[in-house]
Structure 1
């Protein structure tokens, strides 16, 4: 009935809306057929025939009032929209905040279906934004064709270098990718905390290899908890000397 983010199943939601729409439509149709049609064809037409000038003035006034009301609502809702937005495209992913406005660092969350729908670049930037939310310093997305196994870098409050490799694969990440990450994360980049993220988890050989070489893997359950607001180190069970 509900998906993993707590949302109602789309098909069930559609069926409920369809039943509700049919019920409301039936009631409206009966009201239009019985009451409104008589009022339009008998009462209102008789009033227009008896008082044409007054009817014209009232009609013009009502139209002017509706136009003014529409402009007022457009101004009010347009001015308050767009204070915080996330933009995802094939080229980049960015967070934007309205000028002069501050956003608390713990408000950023993502649903798993949002992460799955992003581009590869957007997924990496989302992970960088979550690091920044958790208080990591110097967060930077560096992923690309020649990233040598590094998509995001940052420093935790203790000064340790955190390196993320983000895999948005539809299938579990295999052992070969984890082995490549192991060869560059510490030796080439000097990572203190090397973390590999798999949107759809890891194969058992990949998990065993990572455990043997002390690499941190974040599978789908851990990623969900992190994306929903829990601190990265709490999710992975990493102690920190700085609260």
Structure 2
């Protein structure tokens, strides 16, 4: 297939893709802009200016009373409209507030499951510590890290029982091996009264079977969801006070 290129004064008029040469395109737009600008200027200076200075002035001079009434009426309408808009904007600033609404209600710490999933491992552990603090546990601390021996968060409940949390943010269910390791570390090394293992995405069936035999508390995704959305941890797990 042959391509035809139009040339003017030795320069290329059209590019290979058929588009106009950029310089010529700029010049063409400049000419069009000047022509439109000239037409607008002529219209403004001749027609519009003549209408304002001659026709409108003659109308005002020939009918002064009607002109005055029209101006006063227009100003009155503008003032009424401005007052109406001001009233509408101010109406939203004041409303009747029930006495119950004036009571200061403390904000309850909550997390969405998506938030917990997007956190780092240490952030997830800190979130669990913060939830313990929200529920009234004493001295909640994140201690997870190298050499933690299975304890990510420690705290004391209202009955002076030591609570040890291990927090697993795995994308898959936690297996029996991890549960067995935590059970030994929490009970034998940390002497935990309430060892609790938390898994963002639950546990395998063998892991749950082992925990049931050892009376180890597991917090799977449904329980974590309730806890993160405001329920007390012990209420979710059905743990009663020792007192």
Instruction: Give the TM interval when normalised to the shorter protein.
Output: 0.5 to 0.7
Q: Structure 2-normalised TM-score?
A: 0.57
Partner of 2:154, secondary structure, is strand
The CA deviation at 1:177 is 0.2
Q: Does 1:159 align with 2:160?
A: yes
The CA deviation at 1:144 is 0.3
What are the within-5 Å matches in structure 2 for residues 11-22 of structure 1?
none
Q: Structure 1-normalised TM-score?
A: 0.57
**CA RMSD, aligned part only?**
2.4
**Number of residues of Structure 1 aligned to a counterpart in Structure 2:** 147
Post-superposition CA distance 1:70-103 (Å, at most 9, x none): xxxxxxxxxxxxxxxxxxxxxxxxxxxxxxxx99
Distance 1:50 1:163, change over 3 A: farther
**Larger gyration radius, structure 1 or structure 2:** 2
Post-superposition CA distance 1:124-152 (Å, at most 9, x none): 00000000000000110000021100000
Alignment match, 2:202: 201
The CA deviation at 1:241 is 4.3
Q: Distance in 1 between matches of 2:140 and 2:221?
A: 22
Alignment match, 1:133: 134
Q: Distance in 2 between matches of 1:240 and 1:228?
A: 22
What are the within-5 Å matches in structure 2 for residues 194-233 of structure 1?
194-233=195-234
The CA deviation at 1:184 is 0.6
Q: Distance in 2 between matches of 1:211 and 1:144?
A: 27
Segments of 4+ moved more than 2 angstroms: none
Q: Distance in 2 between matches of 1:161 and 1:117?
A: 29
The CA deviation at 1:168 is 0.1
Post-superposition CA distance 1:172-221 (Å, at most 9, x none): 00000000001110110010000000000000000000011110000000
Gaps of 5+ in 1: 1-41, 52-101
What are the within-5 Å matches in structure 2 for residues 65-144 of structure 1?
104=106, 107-144=108-145
Q: Distance in 2 between matches of 1:202 and 1:180?
A: 14
Q: Distance in 2 between matches of 1:206 and 1:114?
A: 26
Post-superposition CA distance 1:6-32 (Å, at most 9, x none): xxxxxxxxxxxxxxxxxxxxxxxxxxx
Partner of 2:189, secondary structure, is coil
Partner of 1:187, secondary structure, is helix
Gaps of 5+ in 2: 1-42, 54-103
